[in-house]
Structure 1
């Protein structure tokens, strides 16, 4: 199995096995501490808060994106913010306290810059890895960063 395949398998295992078990565990612990009805009420209030946050921050991200595009500037930050609000909203849709907490962290404007930095860093590494365009420009194949034929520097002399 390739490195990429192993990484995908680990992510799927975490998403579909570990996360539901963690959510059930936290729900049981909260339910035992405050009671089942209070737990349900807390989940409902959490969902209402999440919906309000998604609406507010989604609108702000959209307005900022439109302003950047209308002024002719590249909306790097705004695109990342929009992606994080959408991802946070997806986490808020799944029931449970753990995913709701992660979703709120992605949506809140106070904590979003941390996740924006992680997202931009990850996306930048993927672009360099897949295209060869690094900070210094194009990286030719075969020079140690990507497999391929060796590149011999030289000059063409036309007689």
Structure 2
């Protein structure tokens, strides 16, 4: 399958901050790094925060600023921490299945573009369309773009459950 990661729209985002006097402003941020996942998908890091962070002390912002230089992308946070990512799926002309995996995270997923097929290891499948939300609770699952011609995109915020480790993912 030919790579289609170059056809994804860039992810542009803004981060706000507060000065010691309480004035709000925008933090200068570079475009987030994207990493390919297989031949037709990519994950783009947006933001992450450590467990027990303090906005007043900017511990979340300092944590976030170190992430773009690290690989792999921080998408599966440790216990009590959070991470947010954009996940792009290219067209799937041959109907390739997603891969079954699980993370010890509570995920809030919003499909922004296209449609995605969410399959659980118990055999249930649901078509999730643009504008729909999935709250995923550390379950075995796979995501697949069922379209042969159109891409799909979702945004996810993940919070690490008890026992979660940075980058922890199990596969079947």
Give the TM bin, normalised by the shorter chain: under 0.3
TM-score (norm 2): 0.24
The structure carrying a bigger strand percent of its residues is: 2
